[in-house]
Amino acid sequence: MKFLVTGSNGQLGFELVRTLTPLGEIAATDRRTLDLSRPETIAPAIRELKPDVILNAAAYTAVDLAESEPVAATMVNATAPGILADEAKRSGALLVHYSTDYVFDGTKTGPYTEDDTPNPLSVYGRTKWEGEQAIQASGCDHLILRTSWVYGPRGKNFLLTILRLAREKPLLKIVNDQIGAPTSTQTLAEATTHILRQWQPRQSGLFHLTASGHTSWHGFAKLIVDLAGPPYPGVEPIPTSEYRTAARRPLNSRLDCNKVSAQFGLQLPDWEQAARGVIAQLLASTPRPT
Ligand SMILES: NC(=O)c1ccc[n+]([C@@H]2O[C@H](COP(=O)([O-])OP(=O)(O)OC[C@H]3O[C@@H](n4cnc5c(N)ncnc54)[C@H](OP(=O)(O)O)[C@@H]3O)[C@@H](O)[C@H]2O)c1
């Protein structure tokens, strides 16, 4: 088996490479070796590498910046996945692609299922939805895995930001009216591997894949601060209306994961248990300031 991973320097791409290594040969590509903003380079690269499975972990993920860079976001999040899908169709490869809770507007009461119609509030969400549609239209074997609130021990994410701010500031003001499931890169990479081990061609489709349970950004920040130890900054809940950002985010980001659990026999970990594990690992490997 040969796996091609795009965005292998990103938080998920890095973890995928690590987790998939026992399963076969890995071609780990990054922006330097496979630039998804240069569409003309994508097909030749895929034809040269000849992967059995393409895992697209690259994305334009700067949610606020995307509002002023819609062309760049569209290229990476919509055009490039379409080309990867066409190449997968041509060669018979499987395309595993990651998408986002931000395809929804967050107005639903209760978790979103795969049958709910997206209505993105942001350029990022719209371009990610367009990427999903391009893959579905290609007719290639595919798994589109929609996830939420991704964090891990490296890269840019909420967990690492709060750990840093907890050392720098006496008070953190964090929104408490956006809810979702923080999902670790380890959970995603292990679930992807589990799915790949048993995947059959007829199982192509769109699946929601997050940790189980849910919290708010405030709840997630409280857990991080409590586990990080002293000095304990205050963590004040604020509404989204008091935290201005260029892009609008859905208030309800909960995704129903029953379909992926049933189809692939997956037991998804509770978000808090998984987060406690990652935070403990990080604290153990980072010397505390004296
Ligand atoms: N982060 C979240 O909270 C979240 C939530 C839901 C879904 N997702 C989805 O999960 C997937 C993985 O996200 P992540 O959190 O791992 O993102 P990430 O850490 O931002 O990684 C994205 C990777 O894509 C690469 N990339 C960007 N533009 C590229 C280009 N033109 N050519 C090649 N590579 C390019 C980046 O490279 P550079 O490092 O060089 O910029 C980076 O390595 C994405 O599909 C994302 O939409 C993420």
Which domains, ranges and CATH numbers included, belong to the chain? 2-148+185-212+254-269 (3.40.50.720)
CA angle 75, 78, 84 (to 5 degrees): 95
Question: What is the structure's pLDDT at 103?
Answer: 98
CA angle 226, 231, 233 (to 5 degrees): 65
Question: What is the structure's pLDDT at 56?
Answer: 98
Convert the pLDDT of each residue in 143-192 to its tens digit.
Answer: 999 999 999 999 999 999 999 999 999 999 999 999 999 999 999 999 99
Convert the pLDDT of each residue in 115-127 to its tens digit.
Answer: 999 999 999 999 9
Convert the pLDDT of each residue in 73-119 to its tens digit.
Answer: 999 999 999 999 999 999 999 999 999 999 999 999 999 999 999 99
Question: What is the structure's pLDDT at 91?
Answer: 97
Distance of CA 214 from the midpoint of ligand 1 (Å): 23
Distance of CA 121 from the midpoint of ligand 1 (Å): 19
Decide: 119 in ligand 1 pocket, CB within 6 A. Answer: no
Decide: 56 in ligand 1 pocket, CB within 6 A. Answer: no
Question: What is the structure's pLDDT at 286?
Answer: 76
The total of other beta-carbon atoms located within 10 Å of residue 239's CB is 11
**What is the distance between the alpha carbons of residues 19 and 133, in angstroms, rounded to a whole number?**
28
Is 246 in contact with 64 (CB distance < 8 Å)?
Answer: yes
Mutate to test the pocket of ligand 1, among 31, 101, 149, 254 (most ligand atoms within 8 A of CB): 31
**What is the distance between the alpha carbons of residues 44 and 46, in angstroms, rounded to a whole number?**
6
Q: In Å, how far are 40, 188, 191, 253 from 180, measured between CA atoms?
A: 37, 15, 18, 5
Question: What is the structure's pLDDT at 203?
Answer: 87
Question: What is the pLDDT of the chain when averaged over all its residues?
Answer: 96
Q: Which residues are catalytic?
A: 124
Give percent of the chain above pLDDT 70.
99
Distance of CA 11 from the midpoint of ligand 1 (Å): 7
Query: Predicted confidence band at 229 (pLDDT cuts at 50, 70, 90)?
Result: confident
Half-sphere exposure of 160 (CA within 13 A, CB side): 12
Query: Predicted confidence band at 59 (pLDDT cuts at 50, 70, 90)?
Result: very high
Task: Give yes or no for residue 287 having a pLDDT over 70.
Answer: no
Of 88, 91, 75, 203, give the one whose Cα is nearest residue 137: 88
Decide: 70 in ligand 1 pocket, CB within 6 A. Answer: no
Is 216 in contact with 177 (CB distance < 8 Å)?
Answer: yes
Mutate to test the pocket of ligand 1, among 38, 60, 61 (most ligand atoms within 8 A of CB): 61
Q: Which atom of ligand 1 is nearest to the CA of 101?
A: 6
Question: What is the structure's pLDDT at 201?
Answer: 81
Question: What is the structure's pLDDT at 202?
Answer: 82
